[in-house]
Structure 1
């Protein structure tokens, strides 16, 4: 049976690749890897401090506290569910995946992050909107559909509320101020 590592800020395929390289350099065999979680086949305790330090140097953090690990799992799930473009509410999908009720998850998240889970989801969606605008492949209605908004008007209001500007104004700026997913809290 493997040993599980919960890793903060592991939010994309490039992150996974970087972590695989680091662990393999230390002679660890990876049983499985997913965003925020790596299972290694052997004991890594002798190299724990070195791996923890090298992860930190790369912008990651090895999570040891159970509640922090749950928060990281929630963040990873939000990122995955936003990408899936599902019609089911993200918080419902999180509660199903974790097996806790939405009230408990929301309270834990708010207490830990100083931000409601709903606001965190909105902030991530807005960053995704910025990405779509920058790519210039979808119109505003298509972006709204892609991110499961009822309509582009709802998205436009939320975008302006979060950024202080309209999507059209943001698109014209061409000086896009986007946040990395691991920097949103």
Structure 2
């Protein structure tokens, strides 16, 4: 038997590493650590208050509300969806989320919008723009290559969306001395 804990603000592999180290500090060897989820052997004695304290110290939160768990799962899956390394481009987001969450998209969408005060579609756009900012800063791909890697049909579509969200052109952003980016757990 296993016990599953849901964690808020886990958005990257580094987050998984930090949570794993935090668990080790309190003497717990997890079975698995995934984005937003840790699984431990149910035979392991784990003080939830101690877990909450160690997680909060590192900027994470233990989630107990059922709806919050669903929203965090949606966020984790959407982070995967927009990752240019993981190709989900052949299906739309509603199909993707319905399949990975095993729930009707309209239910997921309504819950997400209610709890986060933003639609899933706008959240995805914000995720993509933050990823585009990262790719611009890396200075390895052209704007057209960035657009293609992020699943845009054209670089002009990306450029318009980037300008709408950031109020800067991609060239202006690239020329900034101190580019402004948000961590993925701060996007809303």
Instruction: Place the TM-score, normalised by the shorter chain, in its bin.
Output: over 0.9
Cα distance between partner residues in 2 of 1:43 and 1:26 = 15
The aligned counterpart of 2:70 is: 70
Whether the 8 Å CA contact 2:9–2:60 is kept in 1: the answer is: yes
Whether the 8 Å CA contact 1:5–1:62 is kept in 2: the answer is: yes
The aligned counterpart of 1:156 is: 159
Please give the residue correspondences for 1:81-92 in structure 2 after superposition, counting only pairs within 5 Å.
81-83=81-83, 84-87=86-89, 88-92=91-95
Cα distance between partner residues in 1 of 2:97 and 2:26 = 34
Map Cα deviations across residues 115-165 of structure 1 (whole Å, 9 max, x no partner): 011000000000000000000010011111111011101101100110111
Cα distance between partner residues in 2 of 1:40 and 1:140 = 44
Q: How many residues align?
A: 185
TM-score (norm 1): 0.95
Map Cα deviations across residues 19-43 of structure 1 (whole Å, 9 max, x no partner): 1111122222211221111101135
Whether the 8 Å CA contact 1:85–1:148 is kept in 2: the answer is: no
The aligned counterpart of 2:148 is: 145
TM-score (norm 2): 0.94
Point out the more displaced range, 94-103 or 35-44: 35-44
- Correspondence for 2:131 among 123, 128, 140: 128
- Correspondence for 1:105 among 108, 121, 134: 108
Whether the 8 Å CA contact 2:29–2:40 is kept in 1: the answer is: yes
Structure 2 unaligned segments of length 5 or more: list them.
none
The aligned counterpart of 1:95 is: 98
Task: Describe the SS at the equivalent of 2:71.
Answer: helix
Cα distance between partner residues in 1 of 2:144 and 2:36 = 32
Structure 1 unaligned segments of length 5 or more: list them.
none
Q: Which has the higher helix share?
A: 1
Cα distance between partner residues in 2 of 1:43 and 1:63 = 21
Cα distance between partner residues in 2 of 1:145 and 1:19 = 34
